[in-house]
Amino acid sequence: MGLLPLYFLFLFLSVSSGEISNFVGVNYGQLGNNLPSPKQSVKLVQSLGAKRVKIYDANPGILDAFKDTNIQVSMMVPNELIINISNSQKLADSWVESNVVPFYPKTKIRYLLVGNEVISGSPKEIWPRIVPAMRKIRNSLKTHSLNKIKVATSMAMDMLESSFPPSNGTFRSDIADPIVKPLLQFLNRTKSFYFLDVYPYFAWANDPKSINLDYALFESRNITYTDPDSRLTYTNLFDQMVDSVVFAMKRLGYPDVRIFIAETGWPNAGDIDQIGANIYNAATYNRNIVKKLTAKPAIGTPARPGWVIPSLIFALYNENQKPGPGTERHFGLLNPNGSYVYGIDLSGKTPVSDFEPLPKPDNNEPYKGKIWCVAARRANATALSAALSYACSQGNTTCDPIQPGKQCFKPDSLYWHASYAFSSYWSQFKKAGGSCYFNGLATQTAKDPSFGRCKFPSVTL
């Protein structure tokens, strides 16, 4: 073989490298009280055709279960340890010795993430400590000759101040220079990845009138968007979102830092007020994203054509203990009993025609009407009582009608009192971010729970 020009040689090495492969994996969350064991989960991960897995901690049982499987593993230093590790090489050494060394290389640990969406959900004092902690973790890995393990951290789209058009992608002014620039410098120098969480679902659900659903699901045949500045043409929302980060990195002087999709997916169910969360859309999105990401030759994005994008789908299971809106508990490819929510093959080898037909979506349009928030049946009485007290403690006469002698008072009926309190609380505080969840003790209903003279407050959409 004749000598290849340096550019083509680099491209060949990049694409053929096992580290920068176009395998699709899955995020293995554990926020459920009914999930299969780690050993069972490994078999399920393999049955999905996943070649990568990411866990959100350093669970020894899970790391041990992935030994000798040849599945690439990403593990995580929890957010709450970042400050201490950033201040102590000794603590970083101890963490690596306890959580990485005993499992490597039989467990194919390839990425060590220092924190998960730290900017999105952790106190500001942790933010500037991310990169110093990453440096110390990397020093520890080098000390143990664990040079194949890349160090990174995962970030959400809320790192951006502007994302539209993609060519206008800009990191937030409060974090661009003090936080993001040192991070990109570290990733560039160590040839690591910018781990990015990308959810077209949330972008579409926040503005379904302006964004076409098929465009978000990779289903559009004749809908395109041309960036007025870059002149790049987009055929799906995912590429737009990823390229906005590419342009933001370029603005800070790091145009070539590689991107790893740490999370992407679509919810298979949700609350009544959550548009488009259904099995049909979830299966369509995930099948299409897998097809795109596993294509050979690699497709990349308009700003980075032909680039391989390593990726992980969120998530392995529907996790019943995840807090927040209903969608949070319904991103799983699998039910907790191990059954498939819908047919999917993360290797991208199974034709869509081989899968069972999907149920037609019934909530692709916004719900219009009243919704109430009531106590879940069979909820734990002690926990329900505590949640009732919390809802009533928020003031604004939330619970006045369930006081003795008032129109909604039912002696010895914790369920009805809690239901009224939850509905009353939610109707008052939804716009301020209040949710109908109460640690899993509440659920939405479109059926009016009012009785007699007792009228339950509702949210009207």
Q: Which residues are catalytic?
A: 117, 263
The angle, 0 to 180 degrees and rounded to 10, between the axes of the packed helices 414-429 and 381-392 is: 40
Task: Answer whether 206's CB lies under 8 Å from 282's CB.
Answer: no
Which residue stretches of 5-116 are H helix? 6-16, 38-47, 60-65, 82-86, 89-99
How far is the C-alpha of 239 from the C-alpha of 302, rounded, in Å? 7
Please, which residues have CB within 8 angstroms of residue 274's CB and are 6 or more apart in sequence?
Answer: 205, 267, 325, 326, 327, 363
Q: How many alpha carbons lie under 13 Å from residue 80 in its C-beta half-sphere?
A: 2
Whose tokens are 């680099």? That residue is 10
**β-pair type (52-55, 24-28):** parallel
CB atoms within 10 A of CB 270: 22
Please report, for residues 20, 87, 140, 396, the alpha-carbon distance to residue 147 in angstroms, rounded to integers and kept in the order given: 15, 22, 10, 58
CA 413 to chain centre: 39
Strands 311-313 and 24-28: parallel
Pinpoint the alpha helices (H) of 335-413.
381-392
Q: What is the C-alpha separation between 317 and 338, in angstroms, rounded?
A: 8
Burial letters 100-120, b for 16+ CB under 10 A, else e: beebbeebbbbbbbbbbbbbe
CA separation (Å) from 308 to 21, 194, 437, 457? 7, 13, 39, 52
Q: Is-contact 456 448, C-beta < 8 A?
A: yes
Which stretches of 133-275 are assigned E, i.e. beta strand?
150-155, 160-162, 170-171, 193-197, 225-226, 233-234, 258-264
Torsion of CA 130, 132, 133, 135, to 10 degrees: 120
SS3 142: helix
